[in-house]
Amino acid sequence: MIQTHQHLSFSILSILLGVVLLARRRKWLNRLRGCVLPPGPRGLPVIGNLLDLPNTDQPWKVYDDWAQTYGDMVYTQVMSTPMLLISSANIAFDLLDKRSAIYSDRSVSVMNELTAWDFNVGFMPYGQRWRSIRKKVHEYFNLTVTPNHRDTQTEEVHAFLRRCLAHTGKELHPLFIRQLVAGIIANTVYGIEIKDMNHEYIRLVTQSREVMDTIKQPGNFWLDYMPLLRHIPTWVPGAVGVKYAARVRPTVEAMLNKPFDTIKDEVDPKDSIALDMINRLKEVHDPERRAIEERCAKDASAMAYSAGSDTSYSLIQIFLCAMAAYPDIQRKAQEELQAVVGHDRLPTYEDRGSLPYIQAIFLECMRWRPIVPLGVVHRLMEDDYYNGYFIPAGTLVVPFVWRMLRNPQEYSEPEKFKPERFIKDSALNPDVLDPNSLAFGFGRRICPGRYFAMDTAFMAMASILHVFNVVPSLDKDGNQLNPIPRWIGGHVSRPDSLHYMLYSRSGASEKLVHATATT
């Protein structure tokens, strides 16, 4: 009897879903009469290209095949939702920057809501809540304010150097890098010091970002394409997304709430962005308004904490892999550091303008292994036309950053790590397409914390190269392991393994690092 009831429930839901999709499809087809859509793979009736979505740990490879087959604009249909894959930087600039007034929306994500990740402005639909949260993030991380955080960034980088000295000659564990970036963000945003790799907040942000990576990997869950599935009982096979969300939601909520609430309860909290927001709340006397403002402050804090820790974490891993794999490039960077910084001190932010090769290494890290290879999806708010093609309202526009940053017409030999491509006459070459203009997003959706991320990366890269040599790890027989791993991931890419070690370059540099513990 129970089994019959289960089959009946699923059958009724399937019929209702089919009716809704057919009605939407008929309305959509009426709008398309006489219009030309961009090319793309042929889909199936009703579900479209749902089964073509790449359910793999390297989804960009599937999209790259599509781009090679169909061109720089690839159109697909997933259920009733149109999707457009953009593989050209010029097209991305034309649509997402120049027409940002109609390309700045995001789709409503059921998985974001169910897992509590709907606080993230990067994935939030265009509207008042998005504007409020983004305004707060921008207020504390814009180009003018970012230098205020450099003392904290420098202190955390120096602490990282000290930990690495104690670990010299051993394969560097990923948690060393996680502690570095989480320490910078947690200290800046919450005034919390991350003193060891087992700290609760490292666990929370690591596990929460794994959730984000899982729900943003195409093909993992169908809920975002068939929202009605959220109402299916958990015993039905189609409820896998609901089950997963129920399991991981408490972790994401803890990352969102716990650090902020801890500061509220402390008697004498350390100065931080969150504390400044909390102090401002005391000036809001209307309870309802204050509750809204507090939620906005909490969301903005968690947004900075989670997003910043993950992207910087991946970027520093890419940098270390590249240095171990390309010793000549590492040596050239160290020669530049030696000429500018010398033996008697560690690098500072004031050295940045005199270190064009270090800056070029940063740019090449951003290009060589894009941190967010599929970009962040935009949603078109009204019908549009481009290069003779019709793009219907509601289209999800995927900026395929991985392919843009590997375009051989922009970057020769894209598979090679070549910082020299950004150098001309011993300075940065302004004629080469800046990877930052692609990697940090487009238009009104550009990353508000990009300047902070760039500051963190510069200080970490310059300091590591000034103090250490980065070399490949050894296997049990003493042979060097390949330091270039296989990159995987859904939303944020990451190496599936790490094989590099740090060795101190000199006793003088070790003394400089140890001296930072008392300053």
Instruction: Determine the pLDDT at residue 195.
Output: 83
- The Cα–Cα gap between 166 and 485 comes to 25
pLDDT exceeds cutoff 50 at 441: yes
- The Cα–Cα gap between 435 and 318 comes to 15
Overall average pLDDT of the 95-123 stretch = 90
Task: Give me the percent of the chain exceeding a pLDDT of 90.
Answer: 57
Instruction: Determine the pLDDT at residue 1.
Output: 39
Overall average pLDDT of the 2-13 stretch = 40
Instruction: Determine the pLDDT at residue 45.
Output: 87
- The Cα–Cα gap between 281 and 367 comes to 41
Q: Are 327 and 320 in contact (CB under 8 A)?
A: no
The least confident of 225-239, 295-309, 336-350, 427-441 is 225-239
Q: What is the dihedral of CA 342, 343, 346, 352, to 10 degrees?
A: 10
- The Cα–Cα gap between 130 and 282 comes to 23
- Return the HEC string of 446-490: CCCCHHHHHHHHHHHHHHHHHHEEEEECECCCCCECCCCCCEECC
Residue 465: pLDDT band by 50, 70, 90 thresholds? very high
Structure tokens at 338: 């030696």
The distance of Cα 58 from the centroid of its chain, to the nearest Å, equals 15
Q: Is the dihedral of CA 344, 347, 352, 358 positive or negative?
A: positive
- The Cα–Cα gap between 100 and 276 comes to 32
Instruction: Determine the pLDDT at residue 18.
Output: 55
Q: Of 185, 188, 186, 167, which is closest to residue 176 (Cα–Cα)? A: 167
Overall average pLDDT of the 397-406 stretch = 96
Residue 218: pLDDT band by 50, 70, 90 thresholds? low
Q: Beta partners for 501?
A: 171, 471
Residue 28: pLDDT band by 50, 70, 90 thresholds? low
Which residues have a Cβ under 8 Å from the Cβ of 457 and sit 6 or more positions away?
Answer: 312, 315, 316, 319, 362, 365
Q: Are 92 and 57 in contact (CB under 8 A)?
A: no
Q: Is the dihedral of CA 189, 195, 201, 204 positive or negative?
A: positive
The least confident of 70-74, 265-269, 444-448, 505-509 is 265-269
- The Cα–Cα gap between 191 and 263 comes to 8
pLDDT exceeds cutoff 60 at 95: yes
Residue 5: pLDDT band by 50, 70, 90 thresholds? very low
- The Cα–Cα gap between 425 and 417 comes to 20
Helix (H, G, I), strand (E, B) or coil at 284: coil
396-399 β-sheet, strand order = 73-78, 81-86, 396-399, 378-379
Q: Of 297, 133, 117, which is closest to residue 209 (Cα–Cα)? A: 117
Overall average pLDDT of the 433-458 stretch = 93
Phi-psi region at 46: left, alpha or beta (left = phi > 0; alpha = psi -120 to 50): left
Q: What is the biggest distance separating any 2 CA atoms in the chain, rounded to whole angstroms?
A: 81
Amino acid of residue 326: Y
Q: What is the CA radius of gyration of the chain?
A: 24
Q: Of 372, 388, 390, which is closest to residue 489 (Cα–Cα)? A: 372
Q: Of 94, 89, 83, 87, which is closest to residue 49 (Cα–Cα)? A: 83
The least confident of 76-80, 431-435, 438-442, 508-512 is 76-80
- The helix (run of H) or strand (run of E) holding residue 384 is strand 384-386
User: How many Cβ atoms from other residues are within 10 Å of residue 226's Cβ?
Assistant: 23
Q: What is the dihedral of CA 195, 198, 201, 206, to 10 degrees?
A: 130
The least confident of 366-375, 447-456, 492-501 is 492-501
**Per-residue pLDDT tens for 161-211?**
999 999 988 888 888 898 999 899 999 999 988 888 788 888 888 888 888
Pairing of β 396-399 and β 468-472: unpaired
Amino acid of residue 459: M
Helices 150-165/174-190 angle, 10° precision: 150
- The Cα–Cα gap between 389 and 36 comes to 5
**Per-residue pLDDT tens for 310-352?**
788 889 999 999 999 999 999 999 999 999 999 999 999 999 9
pLDDT exceeds cutoff 70 at 26: no
Structure tokens at 310: 């993950």
The residue ranking higher by pLDDT, 197 or 258, is 258
pLDDT exceeds cutoff 50 at 21: yes
- The Cα–Cα gap between 103 and 380 comes to 5
Q: Which domains does the chain have, with CATH numbers?
A: 35-518 (1.10.630.10)
Q: Are 461 and 357 in contact (CB under 8 A)?
A: no
- Return the HEC string of 345-358: CCCCHHHHHHCHHH
Q: Beta partners for 498?
A: none
Instruction: Determine the pLDDT at residue 310.
Output: 74
Q: Are 396 and 83 in contact (CB under 8 A)?
A: yes
**Per-residue pLDDT tens for 351-401?**
999 999 999 999 999 999 999 999 989 999 999 999 999 999 999 999 999
Q: Beta partners for 77?
A: 82
